[in-house]
Amino acid sequence: MFLKWFDNSLVNLSSSDKNKPDWGRAWPFAAMHLACFAAFWVGYSKTAIITAVVLYWVRIFSIGAFYHRYFSHKTFQANRFWQCIFAIMCMTSIQRGPLWWAAHHRDHHIISDKPDDPHSPIHTSFWWSHCGWFLSQKFFRYNPERIKDFSKFPELRFLDRYDTLVPFVLAVFLFVLGQSLNYFHPEYQTSGLQLLVWGFCISSVAVWHSTFSINSISHRFGIKAYPTKDNSRNSFILALFTMGEGWHNNHHHYPATAKQGFKWWQIDPTFYILVLFEKLHIIKNLKRLPKHI
């Protein structure tokens, strides 16, 4: 069981009911939520809270910019080195590997809010669309035909196979950092366990539910600015928490652009940072919004 957490190729999906949870992954997901309550035991400090907030925004940006706008929709280009760095940044969010994430998201766009959509709240429940679908055995794997463009890179296949390796390294790093600060700089008033709870557990759970809300809330509540064939909605509040991902109806109307805030007042910090990345030559050919849209 322990090895299966690190090497997902060892997972045997033998249940006849594929909607049943994959408990090998489901109970650690639940345990992470429970671990957040350890904050009452380890306490808090300015250092721990800043760590949690910084990691939240870095990882929210990474999911929106790279897992979504790059790996899923290819709205800009990057060389192989930066592509690998992008994948590693996203994997700190503990949302599986880049191939798994992008393949399922491409499926979602093809059959959005239809009965076979992996996470439509229209044909299932809020719970299923929010997080039940990826905890099930049914969606543990992905369709390799959907992601041939990126699966040709061995480093991405490696990261996808060992999808808990990067989060494990982050957790160890935060614990060691906290212990080191406690020993060498006690004025920071933190510890290994405190940074682990705040920087890893609490921050990760916040990133999870902000990301999941785009699948669940954004297909139920909000403004439908464009007459798309699905039930996608725009939400200013979700856009704030997800750095622009909340303009979901815009995105479903025209997913081929890196910009999701179509109007001047629709804030899209992820796109603004990507523009900066393009100026710094980290990425190139960033797809803007066409005038006719």
pLDDT at 1 over 70: no
- Do residues 4 and 22 touch, judged by C-beta distance below 8 A? no
φ/ψ of 122, rounded to 5, equals: -75, -40
Residue 21 in this model has a pLDDT that exceeds 90: no
Q: What is the mean pLDDT of the chain?
A: 94
Q: 163 to each of 153, 255, 288, how far by Cα in Å?
A: 15, 27, 32
The mean per-residue pLDDT over the stretch 248-262 comes to 98
Tokens 């809300």: give the residue.
Answer: 213
Question: Quick one: pLDDT at residue 222?
Answer: 97
From 224, 210, 184, 263, select the one nearest 55 (Cα to Cα). Answer: 210
Q: What's the pLDDT score for residue 17?
A: 57
Residues of the chain with pLDDT > 90, as a percent, come to 87
* Residue 60: per-residue pLDDT: 98
Q: Which two tokens stand for residue 175?
A: 């614990």
Best CA proximity match to 193, nearest among 176, 175, 180, 206: 175
Mean pLDDT, residues 274-285: 98
Task: Tell me what the mean pLDDT of segment 94-121 comes to.
Answer: 95
- Quickly list H helices, the chain: 2-6, 23-35, 39-42, 46-62, 80-91, 98-110, 126-127, 133-135, 148-151, 154-161, 165-184, 192-195, 203-216, 236-242, 248-253, 269-279
Q: What are the two backbone dihedrals, phi and then psi, of residue 157, each rounded to the nearest 5 degrees?
A: -65, -40
pLDDT recorded at residue 23: 79
Structure-token pair, residue 255: 């997913």
HSE, CB side, 13 Å, CA atoms: give it for residue 220.
17
DSSP per position, 138-150: TTSS--GGGGHHH
pLDDT at 16 > cutoff 60: no
Quick: pLDDT tens for 137-193: 889 999 999 999 999 999 999 999 999 999 999 999 999 999 999 999 999 999 999
Q: Of 16-25, 211-220, 225-234, which gets the smallest average pLDDT?
A: 16-25
- pLDDT tens track for 24-50: 788 999 999 999 999 999 999 999 999
b/e map 44-63, b = 16+ CB within 10 Å: bbebbeebbeebbeebbbbb
Q: Are 235 and 118 in contact (CB under 8 A)?
A: no
